[in-house]
Structure 1
Amino acid sequence: MDSWEASVEARIRAAQERGEFDNLPGMGKPIPGRGQPYDESWWIKSFLEREKIPTDLLLPTPLQLRRRIEQLPDEVRDLPTEESVRAFVADLNAQIVSWLRTPTGPRVSVRPVNADDVVRGWRAEREAAATPTPAPSAPPRRRGWRAPWHRRRA
């Protein structure tokens, strides 16, 4: 065992002398996460951060569907026509019905979305954006209160 360790140490020393460890990425920088408490899922968190993967993809299907329902007004806001809004809602409802047929994951209440309600909200938001809001008028300028000792003497 000692001869094996000695040969490994000799190879490391030879590589150092050749400069194979010079200019490695992270050289001279502190080890990330050092001094922080141990986190069992450090590797998945670093992978998600490094690959820029949205954490929503880690949620079970019913929670992903609920999140999409919550974000629906924001997602349909920029769609150009009522038909495209209805098509978007129909696609989401198809995914919801598919999950309802064979539910997996936690038991979370998820129901199809009413397309008419979404279209009504979409129209109201477009009308509100189309009507110009009057510019607020400047409040009348008031003279500030001045203490008697701050008054100018004539």
Structure 2
Amino acid sequence: MTEDEAPRRISSLEDRNAIVESALDKAIRRGDFDDLPGLGKPLSGLHNSEDPDWWIKQKMDSEDMSGVAPAAFQLRKENAVLEDTLDAFSKEADVRAYLAGFNDRVRAAIMDLREGPPVFTPPRKVEDEVAAWRQRRSAKTALATNPPPTPTDGRDQERERPPRRWWQRKRS
């Protein structure tokens, strides 16, 4: 509809559909839809139609927003990857400092009853986590210095294979 045309009352659904279709056709002919981002790509998020908040989760992923969830959810997510996070540190002092900060955040979230759902993430015992970190670190260095033996010849693998059962043998 251009500016010189006066808006008219639409009487039926068919008239409304015809007006929308003609407006879309005019826009396509003008090239208004050319060079749009995502042109020719499938729409993401359509497979997850049961989640009513799929659009906000998609926006948060595209904008890389991570600190928006309530503390209980953030701590649960952080707790799930805590060992991997600790393994990234090279000094024991850094591991202890991170665990102290994590425990402080857990205790603060437990005490703050105003924000979000209840917190079920327990504080971690620093000494136990540091001992586990040391053990994982020593196992990783031992594996790096002494790799497991690999068979060099295919014949060794044939000898170690169990004998074939009667139903597995080919008929000759």
Normalising by the residue count of structure 2, what TM-score does the alignment of the two structures yield?
Answer: 0.59
Is 2:131 the counterpart of 1:120? yes
Cα pair distance change 1:5/1:113, threshold 3 Å: same
**Alignment-derived partner of residue 61 in structure 1:** 71
Asked whether the equivalents of residues 62 and 106 of structure 1 are also in contact (C-alpha less than 8 Å), the reply is: yes
Which one of the candidate residues 105, 108, 111 is aligned to 2:122? 111
Q: Distance in 1 between matches of 2:91 and 2:6?
A: 77
Cα pair distance change 1:24/1:94, threshold 3 Å: same
Q: Distance in 1 between matches of 2:170 and 2:74?
A: 62
**Alignment-derived partner of residue 81 in structure 1:** 91
**Alignment-derived partner of residue 152 in structure 1:** none
Number of aligned positions between the proteins: 140
Q: Distance in 2 between matches of 1:101 and 1:84?
A: 26
Is 2:148 the counterpart of 1:134? yes
**Alignment-derived partner of residue 101 in structure 2:** 91
Q: Distance in 2 between matches of 1:5 and 1:39?
A: 39
**Following TM superposition, where does structure 1 have runs of at least 4 consecutive aligned residues deviating by more than 3 angstroms?**
26-33, 35-43, 136-149
Q: Distance in 2 between matches of 1:23 and 1:107?
A: 49
**Alignment-derived partner of residue 48 in structure 1:** 60
**Alignment-derived partner of residue 6 in structure 2:** 3
Q: Distance in 2 between matches of 1:87 and 1:27?
A: 44
CA RMSD of aligned residues (A): 4.1
Asked whether the equivalents of residues 69 and 113 of structure 1 are also in contact (C-alpha less than 8 Å), the reply is: no
Normalising by the residue count of structure 1, what TM-score does the alignment of the two structures yield?
Answer: 0.64
Residue identity over aligned pairs, in percent, reads: 24
Q: CA deviation at 1:20?
A: 5.9
Q: CA deviation at 1:108?
A: 3.4
For structure 1, the 5+ residue unaligned runs are: 150-154
Q: Distance in 1 between matches of 2:111 and 2:64?
A: 32
Q: Structure 2 matches for 1:5-20, cutoff 5 A?
A: 5=8, 19=30
**Alignment-derived partner of residue 70 in structure 1:** 80
Cα pair distance change 1:125/1:19, threshold 3 Å: same
Q: Distance in 1 between matches of 2:37 and 2:96?
A: 51
Classify the secondary structure of the residue corresponding to 2:94: helix
